[in-house]
A and B are shown apart, each in its own frame.
Chain A
Amino acid sequence: MTTVSDPVELLALANPVPPGSLSALAAERADGLLATLRAELVEPRPRLGRGLWWGRPAFARRAVRVATALAVIAILTTGVAWAAGAFNSPTPQSLFRTNFPADTGSGPIFQNVVPDSVKQVASVEIPKVGPVALWHALTKQGGWCLGLRLSNGSWLGTPPQAGGSPLDGGGAVPGCFPTGVIDPGGDHLEWLENDIDARSVGGTFWRIRSGVITVPGAVKVTDLTTGKSTDVVDGNVFILAIEAPNPAIPGDNSPRLHLVAYDRAGKVIASDCRSCAGG
């Protein structure tokens, strides 16, 4: 056993990631991540040079005064939105374009969004919160992108400093996924879950499942546990909100949901759990 005189030295010897041990991994990932960062819509802004106020002509000073007054009014009238993080929120195009790769354990899977395919396809109304919009896009690799956005512009599944919401109860990070990978245990029904904890605004806890059906013909998605249904929109996309007990309570007493998709004839054609009862 090594004898050391300082516990910091003892700790250093027990470093789970010794210095230099990630060099190869970091080098391998650097270019991909850097490309993603470069594509960020919110490009680094150039710092503006500051001219001397008293050195400007009179018309310029007036213009600056007017601009300052307008800026103050704008700041005051939009303070609430600012506090809510709305201005930190990326646009849907930016969000999907800069999504970080999914990782199934065998390495990152990059997806490149098709810009023209980005659109809002549906929304659900959550009491005390308002509408939650479902944004969807396709990827050049044949995958799909999903993101849930509150009416103040914030995205569920993102941290506050990146435009997230204090009402976010946890869940999937918005982004793009290759078809057939996100839910390997399922049968043509791929879904993400995001939760809203609206208790701080007098509401309740909600689980929102959104996803895509990867076989043609689906018209309705139903949760067989609660009986709640929703229509399939835009050909193969769905969003379903279900009020639920707060899962932060020990034992997680949220009901185990089981989604199935029906075709026009009422036949189950997709399921999130092939071996579960009901499809």
Chain B
Amino acid sequence: VTETSDSDRLEAIFREHYEAVLAYARRRAPAEVADDVAAETFAIAWRKAGQIPREPLPWLLGVARRVLSTQRRSTQRRTRLRQRLLQTAEPMPIDTVDARLGEALSRLSERDREALLLVAWEGLAPREAATVVGLTQTGFSVRLHRARRRLRAALERADTPASAAVADHSPLTRGEAR
């Protein structure tokens, strides 16, 4: 395998998946941070070309997820420069979701929320989403199932029009570990 074909493959991967990675990041962070995350994700992909699997998108989203996590850990300090540049800070995308739904989502653990969003927002199949979060397909399916029920329960508790829109109510299983 030549260096040229590696470069060609990377370029093809970039052209096919940059939008999806950018969208993933923008659904989870303000635009200027998300843009950096998407760029950094592909910079890492460039350095780790040999590790990219045949199906690149879940791998790329997994990298983006870790980059985002790193960014969040030092957001308060790291974004000071960007805030100076932009004058005003943008709200997090999740804050722009319907208030009732946003509140219900915020009651879930990060792991549950991410499982739901990978399927609902990124449109990934459980097999692909499992790769993003480093689980087996079975493990992810269990997490997704539980997360779905917890979101329903959270919407019920919210007692709002949004929760009334959910027709199928099923409570949390008693004693289920969070």
Contact = CB atoms under 8 A, between A and B. Distances in A.
Interface in B18-73: 18-19, 22-23, 26-27, 32, 35-36, 39-40, 42-44, 46-47, 49-50, 66-67, 70-71
A100 to B, nearest CB: 5
A23 B15 CA distance: 11
Contact of A14 (B7, B26, B43, B98): B98
Which range holds the interface residue count of chain A?
A: 35 or more
B71 A171 contact: no
Given A6-B168, A30-B18, A19 B78 contact: no
A16 B93 contact: yes
Contacts of A47: 1, 6, 50
Contacts of A30: 14-15, 18
A152 B166 CA distance: 55
Nearest to B71: A159
Interface in B96-120: 96-98, 101, 105, 116-117, 119-120
Interface string A160-182: 11100000111111000000011
A17 B26 contact: yes
Contact of B85 (A7, A11, A105): A105
Nearest to B102: A14
A102 interface: yes
Q: Is the interface of B mostly helix, strand, loop or mixed?
A: helix
Nearest to B91: A16
A34 interface: yes
Contacts of B32: 103, 105
Interface stretch (A36-44, A120-128, A262-270): A36-44
A15 interface: yes
Residue in B46, B49, B81, B94 with the greatest tally of chain A CB atoms within 10 Å: B81
Interface string B119-136: 111010000000000000
A198 interface: no
Given A4-B167, A19-B23, A247-B77, A40 B43 contact: yes
Interface string A13-34: 0111101011101100110011
Residue in B2, B43, B67, B94 with the greatest tally of chain A CB atoms within 10 Å: B43
A183 interface: yes
A52 interface: no
A276 interface: no
A199 to B, nearest CB: 15
Given A16-B27, A171-B78, A44 B3 contact: yes
A105 B86 contact: yes
B148 interface: yes
24 contacts: A6-B166, A8-B148, A10-B101, A12-B123, A21-B23, A26-B22, A33-B42, A37-B42, A43-B3, A44-B3, A44-B7, A44-B10, A47-B6, A102-B85, A103-B35, A103-B85, A103-B86, A161-B70, A162-B40, A171-B78, A171-B81, A181-B85, A182-B85, A185-B84
Interface of A: 1-12, 14-17, 19, 21-23, 25-26, 29-30, 33-34, 36-38, 40, 42-47, 88, 98, 100, 102-105, 157, 159-162, 168-173, 181-183, 185, 192-193, 195, 247-248
Given A9-B120, A16-B94, 17 more contacts: A1-B164, A5-B168, A6-B148, A7-B152, A16-B97, A19-B23, A22-B23, A25-B22, A33-B42, A34-B15, A45-B3, A45-B6, A100-B40, A157-B78, A161-B44, A171-B78, A173-B78
